[in-house]
Chains A and B, each alone.
Chain A
Amino acid sequence: GAVVSQHPSRVICKSGTSVKIECRSLDFQATTMFWYRQFPKQSLMLMATSNEGSKATYEQGVEKDKFLINHASLTLSTLTVTSAHPEDSSFYICSARDVNRPALYGYTFGSGTRLTVV
């Protein structure tokens, strides 16, 4: 089945530094990937839609300059949290859609990244 690998699973960084999170589709090509943020005991909040070869589409209220998304290939999207602050601490999850399968079937999720900014 479709597998999405997300790395790292956990990261602790100092305030002011940047952190990159990778999302890879291992056995399929993904023209579209989605980045979510999840607060404790809360649902997933869609941050942005990442499209291969073009700029990401950010949801309202999400800072583009803070959450940099790059989708340079059909199997890799990255989310970089720039100048991280403690309030950026959260659980980040990516999702990928298989380009060869109908859109409504192709949502496969990564295992998530727990970011802690100290």
Chain B
Amino acid sequence: AQSVAQPEDQVNVAEGNPLTVKCTYSVSGNPYLFWYVQYPNRGLQFLLKYITGDNLVKGSYGFEAEFNKSQTSFHLKKPSALVSDSALYFCAVRDISGYSTLTFGKGTMLLVSP
């Protein structure tokens, strides 16, 4: 079975500082990895995905994520955080070998202070 772990319930960072939201995954085959952001009482917005190719993936709003196969990680990063980045972030994985649904991590709340 596939799974996703987001070890931090909450990440606090000051505006202008770099941020990292951690994600590790487990799948039986090659992973397709995703990051989504959720604002209060809203659905999920797609940020970025890793399918194949370059391990560093760039996405929306200045976010990027680095795929590390040996560490089975896909951490979300941003060089300079904004207060408006404060939201709930979900990492998700899908196994390309046939499982058609996404498995989500439990989410990490990012709080960016002014």
Chain A interfacial positions (CB closer than 8 Å to B)? 4, 6, 9-10, 32, 34, 41-44, 46, 49, 91, 93, 95, 103-105, 107-112, 114
Please, what's the 1-or-0 string for B40-59, where 1 marks a CB less than 8 Å from any CB in chain A?
01111110010100000000
Interface centre among A44, A46, A103 (most CB of B within 10 A): A44
Chain B residues within an 8 Å CB radius of A49: 100-101
Q: Which residues of A contact B36 (CB under 8 A)?
A: 109
In the complex, are the beta carbons of B44 and A104 less than 8 A apart? no
Partner of B51, one of A4, A34, A43, A104: A104
Cα-based distance from A103 to B96 in the complex (angstroms)? 10
Partner-A contacts on B (CB < 8 A): 9, 32, 34, 36, 41-46, 49, 51, 90, 94, 96, 100-102, 104-107, 109
Is B51 a contact partner of A109 (Cβ separation < 8 A)? no
Residues of B near A107 (CB, < 8 A) are 34, 46, 102
User: What is the chain B residue whose CB lies nearest that of A4?
Assistant: B43
Decide: A104 near B96, CB < 8 A? Known: A46-B101, A91-B41, A93-B43: yes
Q: How far is the CA of A74 from the CA of B109 in the complex (A)?
A: 35
Given A34-B101, A104-B96, A107-B34: A112 touches B42 (CB 8 Å cut-off) = yes
Query: How far is B102's CA from A32's CA once the two chains are assembled, in angstroms?
Result: 13
Minimum Cβ distance to chain A for residue B86 (Å): 15
The CA of A4 and the CA of B32, in the complex, are separated in Å by: 22
A42 to B106, CA, bound (A): 6
Of the candidates B32, B41, B49, B90, the one whose C-beta lies within 8 Å of that of A43 is: B90
Q: What's the Cα separation between A43 and B43 when bound, in Å?
A: 12
Evaluate contact between B105 and A6: CB separation under 8 angstroms: no
